[in-house]
Structure 1
Amino acid sequence: MKREDINIRDPFILPYEGKYYLYGSRGSEVWEDNATGLDVYVSDDLENWSEPKEIFTRTADFWADRHYWAPEVYAYNGAFYMFASFKSADRCRGTMVLKADKPDGKFTVHSEGTITPPDWESLDGTLYISKSGKPYMIFCHEWVQVNDGEMCAIEMSADLKRAVGEPILLFKASEASWIAEAQKNKGIYVTDGPFPYRCDDGTLLLLWSSMGEEGYTEAIAVSDNGDIDGNWVQRDELLFKKDGGHGMIFKTFDDKLLLLLHSPNKHPLERPAYFELEDKNGMLYVK
């Protein structure tokens, strides 16, 4: 398959041992109430991809039947861990952790339920390791429940099976200057797709998405102490503002720094898109 043939939202790439593994929310099922699984695509060059391989399959006893969203896979402590969000008709959306022994292996449930609070509508959990080595999940407390979407974090146990303590609030979507006036008028402020990135000079950034004047966006918040518990300041200038978002950052095997996001943000036209980045003076810029 060519990249332009792949219809997914919320793309995530894991470079591992000479191959690129692409995960995302299935375009065909993303808004449906009968989700069946999650896939991986594999590539050597980021343009030519394998057919999708199902790596998580809904079983009869699995609690969620819809909205299998935003899978992210990390190599951690000798195994591969997937953070993905799920929902059912009678339970809040939340992010769980799944586990496999290889990046395209069969993932099975690892965490003890959702890491996000069970009575919160939450999504888009991503892994962050603090300066002291503690794992955290950064996630969104969704606007459908709180109107002013929140970006939160919660400490996890070292084995990634459970939450430790209570969530901490990083910031609210309304703190961003660039939020579209139409959203403000409705009193709705979306938070989507957090992804932490540490700059070469040690500055900690958090990519996240919402709705700007030109559509879905990729924005940046900056921690004032270089860690998860700092004060987060919103950058006024967007990293990407024209109808694309839910991004992440990875390095290619030839050491290019790439932003990956889905664009456009219209079903069923979503495709993975890359943009080369420059890491300069504690900030990211599209080249």
Structure 2
Amino acid sequence: MKKVLWCVLCLFSIICISAFDKGKYTNPLPVKFGDPYVLLASDGRYYMYGTDAGAVDGFCAYSSDNLIDWKPEGQVYRGNIPGSWAVANFWAPEVYERNGKFYMFFSADWKENPTNELENFRIGVAVADKPTGPFKEISDHPLFDAGYPAIDGNLLQDTDGRLYLYYSRCCYKHPVESEVAAWAREKGMFNEIEESWIYGVELKPDLSGIIGEPVLVLRPPVTNDDPQAEWESRSVTSGEVNRRWTEGSYIFKKGSVYYMMYSANYFGGKNYAVGYATAKQPLGPFVKSANNPVLQKNVEKGGTVTGTGHNSVTYSKDGKQMYCVYHGRTKSTGEERVVFIDKMGVDDKGNLYVEGPTTTTQDMR
């Protein structure tokens, strides 16, 4: 009898420990994505998409019930096929569920390139009946053409039902005068500094195009005494590259406030980091937070993580906990971009915070 009781207790302990462990995880996740985006679909499962060096002219996906255990779903979209406008450099997919369909916004090189631009990126839309695809482009041309390369499409459906698209104008052929640019010239580092800026524009309800002209909503600081200048200029001031980025936007609304998270600095370097800005209207004006950056490398504090950026936001299934999903690098992963998930939130004073980057064991809730 004692032996049976002991076996029962042992089994009970194993079950309890196993259940408890299911709520724990350690960053980085075993997913090699840049620009990760997570959708909590109406079927109750999470789906992750991202820039994937392993995909052939497109994107792969993963699925999960708990944000911890991720199942590969294979390639869910492929471009560079007959009828496709997109031919190369497939980046930053985001998927939205609308009216029983799944719509993927993504960036890629446009096949129409009469002037042979080195960066000919545009944003397009593909649709599928399931979050695992197959996604097919809704048109044989990009969503719009602003006359310059555009990437990192991000969608907001406002409480009034109107849709807004946010994207980044690339640095390519976009030199901008600023005090940082003047400083770099004086130091003999760079002759000019190119910048990427974030724009917003209303979107047609059927996702077939834009309404009106894009509005500039965020850009790097112009003066060196701007509180954001130091962290947003590190790629330049470190001598890394002659560009300043404002990209990878993710917008959400909490109460009456619009929160736009964004990434600055070179996406391939250690200084990539995340800040945020707030506004009272979907197209601004946006004001950057005094608490920026809210997510950045931790090597100066004894950690191993660098290059944290291009995040998305997802929620626990009960909607109570926010999670920041982003890519980064560690000493062990090298130059490979890998996925991190950390808790985040907005405090009672309206300040956004991210509890990361972490590499120790975490409770998912």
User: Structures share a fold, TM > 0.5?
Assistant: yes
TM-aligned CA distance change 1:78 to 1:28, over 3 Å: closer
8 A Cα contact 2:150 2:170, kept in partner: yes
The 2-side partners of 1:18 and 1:170 are apart by 34
Structure with bigger helix share is 2
Identity of aligned residues (%): 24
2:328 maps to 263
Q: Give the equivalent residue in structure 2 for 1:180.
A: 233
Q: 1:112 to 1:232 in 2, by over 3 A?
A: farther
Aligned to 2:274: 218
Counterpart position of 1:141:
169
- Give the superposed CA RMSD: 2.4
| TM norm structure 2 | 0.70
Distance 1:206 1:112, change over 3 A: farther
2:83 corresponds to 1:19:
no
Alpha-carbon deviation of 1:131? 4.7
* Alpha-carbon distance in 2 for matches of 1:210, 1:89: 28
Residue number in structure 2 paired with 1:97: 125
Distance verdict in 2 for CA 1:44–1:132, change over 3 Å: closer
How far off is 1:47 after superposition?
Answer: 2.1
1:119 aligns to 2:162 (yes or no): no
Instruction: Kindly provide the amino acid, as one letter, of the partner of residue 271 in structure 1.
Output: V
Distance 1:202 1:267, change over 3 A: farther
For residue 157 of structure 1, what is the aligned residue in structure 2?
A: 204
The code of the aligned residue for 1:217 comes to A
Tell me whether 1:285 sits opposite 2:353 in the alignment: yes
1:64 aligns with 2:62: no
Does the 8 A contact of 1:40 with 1:54 survive in 2?
yes
Deviation per CA, 1:28-62: give whole Å up to 9, x if none: 36xxxxx5221111111222221242111232332
Tell me the CA shift for residue 271 of structure 1. Answer: 1.1
Partner of 1:32: none
Q: Number of aligned residue pairs: give it.
A: 278
Question: Does the aligned pair in 1 maintain the 2:250–2:262 contact within 8 Å?
Answer: yes
Bigger proportion of residues as strand: 1
Q: What whole-Å deviation, never above 9, does each CA across 1:77-134 have from its counterpart, x for those lacking one?
A: 3311110001157532011111111211211111462224252110000101235422
* Mapping of residues 232-251 of structure 1, within 5 Å: 232-236=286-290, 237-242=292-297, 243-251=307-315
Contact 2:33–2:52, Cα closer than 8 Å, also in 1: yes
Counterpart of 1:85 (choices 94, 107, 125) is 107
Tell me the SS of whatever aligns to 1:183: helix
Structure 2 unmatched runs, 5+? 1-25, 114-119, 175-193, 223-227, 298-306, 356-365
- Structure 1 distance, partners of 2:217, 2:243, is 18
Q: Say whether the 8 Å CA contact 1:131–1:227 is kept in structure 2.
A: no
With 120-129 and 226-235 compared, the bigger mean Cα shift is at 226-235
Alignment-derived partner of residue 303 in structure 2 = none
CA distance in 2, matches of 1:132, 1:112: 30
Equivalent position to 2:256, from 202, 206, 211: 202
C-alpha distance 61-246 of structure 1, shift in aligned 2 (>3 A): same
C-alpha contact (below 8 Å) 2:343/2:354 kept by paired residues:
yes
In structure 2, relative to structure 1, the CA distance for the partners of 1:171 and 1:278 (3 Å cut) is closer
